[in-house]
């Protein structure tokens, strides 16, 4: 069966829809969690209002990152002009996989960043004087947590722009093989960053909470946070390696 423009469009639209839908889920929940804790902290410390709102807005902006990546990929999928039938089934699989990768890949980082922001608001509500230390630590933690969504974005862009067209003489077997490899690559990085992203956010959140309670122990808390986050990140890096292998070495 030869590939027509319509099939490529179907793959692009499906990928765009799935990607943005799943990515928005976690960003929405994460930002809501932050806002909820901020509102709660207002009640305890109405005087810390300004610093609470600042911290909340910064946190929500970072939490949104994954959803914005998914939005960019979706717009590229819809308007990027990937409709040349010469791409064949290879391209159709790559387009669908690009959407799934960035969508699922944003879920973990979204939850993690939101948790970190919520705990930061809680800690600022308890100790408004530690505002700077807590917000700083929150941002470091969120940056570490977002690494997963950046991996997913990279894989997704590679799937869009660096995948080969289907050769004219490709057999059915080769086509199935390559399509499975592209889909597998997208799923590996997408699902693989879920755990590390959420978990690094959890580490950062606990660290924020504890800096708020025991500001004197800040240095050793941050050290442990970095160490723990680095170990948690390892499985996301394994996923990235497997996904590169599947996309380029098959």
Applying CB under 8 A, among 49, 53, 231, 248 the residue interacting with another protein is 231
Three-state DSSP at 165 gives coil
Applying CB under 8 A, among 70, 96, 120, 210 the residue interacting with another protein is 210
Q: Judged by CB under 8 A, which stretch of 34-42, 63-71, 73-81, 237-245 contacts another protein?
A: 237-245
> If you compute the radius of gyration of the chain from its CA atoms, what whole number of angstroms results?
21
Residue 45 DSSP class:
-
Whole-number Å distance between alpha carbons of 74 and 2? 25
Q: Is 195 in the site for another protein (CB under 8 A)?
A: yes
Q: Is 123 in the site for another protein (CB under 8 A)?
A: no
Applying CB under 8 A, among 49, 164, 238, 244 the residue interacting with another protein is 238
Q: Is 246 in the site for another protein (CB under 8 A)?
A: yes
Q: Cα separations (Å) of 203 from 144, 153, 189?
A: 10, 23, 21
Closest CA relative to residue 206, chosen from 135, 108, 120, 113? 120
* Ramachandran bin of 88, using left for φ above 0, alpha for ψ from -120 to 50, beta for the remaining angles: left
Q: Which residues bind another protein (CB under 8 A)?
A: 108, 112, 171-174, 176-177, 179-181, 183-203, 205-207, 209-211, 213-214, 217, 220-221, 224-225, 227-229, 231-232, 234-236, 238-239, 241-243, 245-246, 249-250
């Amino acid at each position: 069966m030869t590939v027509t423009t319509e099939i490529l469009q179907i793959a692009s639209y499906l990928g765009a829809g799935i990607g943005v839908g799943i990515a928005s889920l976690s960003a929405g929940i994460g930002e809501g969690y932050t806002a909820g804790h901020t509102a709660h902290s207002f009640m305890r410390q109405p005087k810390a209002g300004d610093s609470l709102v600042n911290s909340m807005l910064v946190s929500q902006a970072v939490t949104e990152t994954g959803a914005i990546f998914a939005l960019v990929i979706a717009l590229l999928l819809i308007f990027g002009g990937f409709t040349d039938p010469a791409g064949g089934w290879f391209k159709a699989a790559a387009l669908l996989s690009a959407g799934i990768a960035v969508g699922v890949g944003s879920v973990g980082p979204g939850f993690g960043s939101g948790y970190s922001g919520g705990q930061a608001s809680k800690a600022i509500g308890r100790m408004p004087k530690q505002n700077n230390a807590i917000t700083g630590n929150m941002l470091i933690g969120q940056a570490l947590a977002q690494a997963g969504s950046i991996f997913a974005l990279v894989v997704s862009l590679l799937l869009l722009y660096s995948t080969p067209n289907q050769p004219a003489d490709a057999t059915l077997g080769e086509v199935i093989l390559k399509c499975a490899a592209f889909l597998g690559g997208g799923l590996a990085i997408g699902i693989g960053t879920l755990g590390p992203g959420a978990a690094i956010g959890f580490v950062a959140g606990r660290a924020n909470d504890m800096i708020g309670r025991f500001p004197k122990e800040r240095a050793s808390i941050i050290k442990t946070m970095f160490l723990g986050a680095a170990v948690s990140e390892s499985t996301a890096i394994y996923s990235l390696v497997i996904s590169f292998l599947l996309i380029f070495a098959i």
